[in-house]
Chains A and B, each alone.
Chain A
Amino acid sequence: MRRTALALALTMVAGSAFAQFGDLLKKLDPSKIAKTARVAHEATRDFTEGEEADIGRVVAARILATYPLATNEKEQKYVTLVGNTLAAYSARPTLEWHFAVIKTPIVNAFSTPGGFIFVTSGALAEMQNEAELAAVLAHEIGHVTQKHILKEVKRGNVLSAGVDLAQSTASGGQWLNDDMGRKIGEIAYNKLFTTGLSRRDEDESDSIAVELTEAAGYRPGEYIRFLENLEKLEGTSAMKTLTATHPSPASRIATIKPLIKQEQGEILAKRFDTWVK
C-alpha cells in the first residue's frame, strides 16, 4: 500500500514537471537530442573490428616511420610462417595478421591493434632458435588479442577523439582524421617506445606466450633462455627501449617459470639458422 502511494506520488510529481515545462520540451529539437544521445553512446562503446584495424594501421604507420621494413625477404617469410603458426592458437585466429621484421639494431618487438606484429632485426640477431622467435611473437600476439594498446588509445581519446568519432560516424563520413591519427600515434608511440604498457599487461602477454608456444608444440623453456641472454645485454644501447618499456628480464623470468607446464617441444635451431643466419 505504502509502495503504491509512493509510486502514485512520484507519478504525479513527474507528470506535474512534464506539464509545467511541456512548452520548453516542445522547443527541443528531437533530431538534436537523438544525435546527442548517439554521440554519448558512441563515445563510450568499444571499437569495431574495422575501427580497430584502422587504428592498427595508424600505429603501424608510426612504427614504420621510425624503423623501416627489413629487406631480407627470406627472413620476412620465415617470421610470417612462424607467426601464423602461433596465431592459429590465439583467441583471434581469423584476424588479418601481418608479421614483419623491421630494420634496427635495437632488441625489441612491437604490435598494434588489428594484428600488425613487428620484430626487430636486432632481436632476431640475439635469438638462437625458432622456439625463441615463437615466444617473442606469441608475446606480441597476446598484446593484440588482449587489446592492450587499444585500451590505452581508448583511455586517451575517450573525451576528444571518441566524440569526434561519433560525430563523424553519425554523418556517415570517414571516421579517422589527421588530428585523430596524430593523437592515436602519440599515445601508441609513447607506450611502445617510452613508458611501456602496465606490468599487468606485460605479465598477461608473457602468460599467453607460454600458452601459445606450448599449444603450437614449441619448447616454452626457450623463452627463458632468450630472456637470460637479454639479461647479459642490459645496459647496452640495443636494450635501451626494451629496458624502458618492459619489466627486467630477471623479473619476467621469475613470472614465467612457474607457468611452464612441459619441458618438451621443438626448438628448431637448425631451421632457424637456415632461414635467418
Chain B
Amino acid sequence: MKRMTIALLAAAVVVTAAAGSGTESKWTVTKGGKGIASITLLTSTSGSRGEWKASGGAAPVIFLASKGQTWVRQTGGDVEVASYKGGEERTIVPALLGIDPSGRKTMKVASGPTTYTLTRTSLSASNADASNFAVRPKKGASSTISRLSGDLFGQSSSGVSATAGGRGVGNSGMKLKDGGDYEAVAALEKRDATWKAGLDQSLQEFQKDGKVGKERP
C-alpha cells in the first residue's frame, strides 16, 4: 500500500513537471501559397510570446499574451494590441498565441477576405525564463485607461476603424445541432460583413451629426 502511494506521488511529480513545462514552436505563414513571415511561439505557465518575422527582413515584432490581454513590445514599453498600428501580424499572431501548439500542426486565420495559413515546422520543450513573458506596460497604457478612452494612445480615428474591423478568429459559419438558430447567426454576421465596407464612413457622419463619439467636433 505504502509502495503504491509513493509510486502515485512519483507519477504526480512527473505529470506536474510535464504540465508546468513550456514549448517552443516555429511556424511559417503563407498567403495564397506564398510565404510571407515566420513566427516563433513560446508558451509557458506564465503566458505566451510570439515573435513575428516578416520575409522582407523588417525588424521582428514581439507579441505577449498574459492574463487574457495581448500586448505588443514597443520602444518605451508594451502597448495593448488594440492600439498597435501594425499590419497583418496584428491579427495573425494573437490568434496563434491562444492555441496549444502541441495540439495543432496547421491553422487558418482570416482577416477580412484574406486567409492566412500557419504551418508548424518544429516543436520542442522549452524552459524559457519567466522574464520572456513579463509584460511591462508603457506608461499610461493600462487596460483600465483604455477602457475609458480607447484613443489615448492610438491614431485619432482608430476607434472607428478598429471597431469596424474583424479579428478573423473563431469559426464563422459554425453550426451545431444544439437547438440554436445558426442560420440567423450567419445571417447577422453576413449582414455586418456587408455593412462593414461603409461603416467607417457612416460612423463618421453619424458621430459628427450627433456630436457624439470620436468624430464629434
Contact = CB atoms under 8 A, between A and B. Distances in A.
A51 B191 CA distance: 22
A74 interface: no
A219 to B, nearest CB: 10
A50 B150 contact: no
A164 B191 CA distance: 33
A97 interface: yes
B149 A271 contact: no
Nearest to B154: A93
A188 B95 CA distance: 25
Interface in B47-104: 68, 81-82, 94-95, 97-100, 102-104
A177 B174 CA distance: 10
B10 A25 contact: yes
B103 A170 contact: yes
B197 interface: no
A208 B167 CA distance: 23
Contact of B15 (A33, A61, A211): A33
Interface residues of A, number: 81
* Tier of interface size on chain B: 35 or more
B135 to A, nearest CB: 15
A49 interface: yes
Contacts of B164: 84
Contacts of B97: 48
A37 B174 contact: no
B18 A89 contact: no
B32 interface: no
A178 B178 CA distance: 5
Interface string B16-32: 10110000000000000
B174 A57 contact: yes
Nearest to B196: A96
B118 to A, nearest CB: 13
A120 interface: no
B19 A64 contact: no
**Chain B at the A interface: SS class:** helix
A239 interface: no
A82 B35 CA distance: 40
B18 A92 contact: no
A85 interface: yes
A6 interface: no
A65 B179 CA distance: 7
B146 interface: yes
Nearest to B170: A53
Contact of A21 (B3, B81, B98, B184): B3
A241 interface: no
22 contacts: A20-B6, A21-B3, A33-B15, A38-B103, A41-B100, A50-B95, A60-B185, A61-B176, A62-B181, A69-B187, A77-B195, A84-B163, A89-B149, A94-B165, A98-B189, A98-B192, A169-B100, A177-B176, A181-B178, A211-B147, A217-B212, A218-B212
Ranked 8 nearest A-B pairs via Cβ: A61-B180, A48-B98, A53-B170, A88-B159, A181-B178, A37-B19, A181-B176, A50-B169
Given A88-B160, A95-B167, 17 more contacts: A20-B6, A50-B95, A61-B176, A61-B184, A62-B178, A64-B184, A65-B179, A65-B181, A81-B203, A84-B160, A94-B81, A130-B210, A169-B103, A177-B176, A185-B179, A217-B211, A266-B212
Interface of A: 17-18, 20-21, 24-25, 28, 33-34, 36-38, 40-42, 46, 48-54, 56-58, 60-62, 64-65, 68-69, 76-77, 80-81, 84-98, 100, 114, 116, 130, 134, 145, 147, 169-172, 174, 176-179, 181-182, 184-185, 208, 211, 215-218, 266, 268, 271
Interface of B: 3, 6-7, 9-11, 14-16, 18-19, 68, 81-82, 94-95, 97-100, 102-105, 143, 146-151, 158-160, 162-167, 169-171, 174, 176-182, 184-185, 187-189, 191-192, 195, 199, 202-203, 206-207, 209-214, 216
